[in-house]
Structure 1
Amino acid sequence: MTWNSFHRRGEILRTVIATADRRRDGLLPMDVDGVAQTFGDELSLLGALQLRWHTRLAGRIERELMHQPMELESAVVAAWHATSDELPGIRAIIDHYRHEPLDDAMAAMMTKSAAKEHILLAVMAGRVSAQDATAARVGESIEHTARATYRPIRPAAEPTGHGLLDRIRAALAA
């Protein structure tokens, strides 16, 4: 991958995420300009979105654990909530395709991805030390707790101006 194609891919992924956040319908925005040329198919785009979710969640967990080092599970749940607020479109897409994959390859990818996320939650919450099926079940329980206690923030109003401050806000949101 060339430097230009790397940056183009990042730019398109940011546009996809912004579109998903705006729509929040759980469907992959394959209609965004450049998606088909850059990612090829739904599976590749979904993989890129899952990677974005997973890395953001892992980073958020680390930050929460710095603030709540004695309340590991609470910190993990808070991190899941915060990540869901930051990436609502991606969360909706992952949830949709986890329950309604397009084909067997996507179903396998979603199953493996869910298990990896559950293991991350369980290990970081201090509930398990091994990364196995038990850890995945414990992490799934933590995810259920996070979902049950999640209260999404309302989407921010679209900026109406085109001044410097509005452009800075838009850049920070992306």
Structure 2
Amino acid sequence: MTWKSLPNRGETLRAVTAEADRRLDGVLPTDVEGVSDTFPDDLALLGALQLRWHARLSGRIERELLLHQPMDLEAAVVAAWRAAAADLPGTRAIIDRHRDHPTDEAMAAAVAKATAKEHAMLAVAAGLAGPQDAAAARIGARLESDARATYVVPQRVRAPRRRATFLDRLRSVLAA
């Protein structure tokens, strides 16, 4: 891996996320330009999307707990899960699809492990379990279920507008 591959990986992952949000079909968008050069297989791409989801969920939980200082931690965690799902609906759909229908044993094991860790994080953030509690994953699964009960899955998300680059702005000035 060279220093040039890191920005390319980030750009590719952003393009994959945007395409997933546009499609909302739960299918890994392996046809996005750069995916085959950046990710060796579907499991690597799914892992990158799970990491992005986990980071967004963690950030939403932190924001909910710090900014709103809720008295009901469970409700705050549920609200944070819904907000993260609204931010990344295509990514959430892909994770859900591969959790329900993994393509092979390696993917099933990876998704199960990531799901258990996510559930444990939800339970700990809600103050219902400690990080080492055996029941944390079960409690977190209940919190996710509560969040899903009131989450409205979007039908279609408009593709985000491409931000004008410096070169785009320079061209428009020169054209004027």
TM-score (norm 1): 0.87
Give the superposition deviation at 1:33: 1.2
Check conservation: 2:89, 2:154, Cα contact below 8 A.
Answer: no
2:142 is the alignment partner of 1:104: no
2:73 is the alignment partner of 1:82: no
2:39 is the alignment partner of 1:39: yes
User: What is the identity, as a one-letter code, of the residue corresponding to 1:46?
Assistant: L
Match for residue 91 of structure 1? 92
Report the CA distance shift for 1:18/1:33 in structure 2 as closer, same or farther (over 3 A).
same
Give the superposition deviation at 1:129: 1.5
Report the CA distance shift for 1:118/1:158 in structure 2 as closer, same or farther (over 3 A).
closer
Give the superposition deviation at 1:134: 0.6
Match for residue 10 of structure 2? 10
- Distance across 1 between alignment mates of 2:84 and 2:131: 25
Structure number with higher relative contact order (C-alpha < 8 Å, ≥ 6 residues apart) = 2
Give the superposition deviation at 1:69: 3.2
Report the CA distance shift for 1:154/1:29 in structure 2 as closer, same or farther (over 3 A).
closer
Match for residue 48 of structure 2? 48
- Distance across 2 between alignment mates of 1:148 and 1:72: 18
TM-score (norm 2): 0.86
Give the superposition deviation at 1:52: 0.2
Match for residue 147 of structure 1? 148
Count of aligned positions = 163
Check conservation: 2:21, 2:157, Cα contact below 8 A.
Answer: no
Report the CA distance shift for 1:71/1:153 in structure 2 as closer, same or farther (over 3 A).
farther
Identity of aligned residues (%): 61
Q: Secondary structure at the match of 1:133?
A: coil
Match for residue 163 of structure 1? none
- Distance across 2 between alignment mates of 1:42 and 1:167: 26
Match for residue 117 of structure 2? 116
Give the superposition deviation at 1:4: 1.2
2:127 is the alignment partner of 1:126: yes
Q: Secondary structure at the match of 1:55?
A: helix
Alignment gaps of 5+ in structure 1: 160-165, 170-174
Match for residue 21 of structure 2? 21
Alignment gaps of 5+ in structure 2: 165-176
- Distance across 1 between alignment mates of 2:85 and 2:127: 21
- Distance across 1 between alignment mates of 2:55 and 2:157: 23
Give the superposition deviation at 1:132: 3.6
- Distance across 2 between alignment mates of 1:16 and 1:58: 21
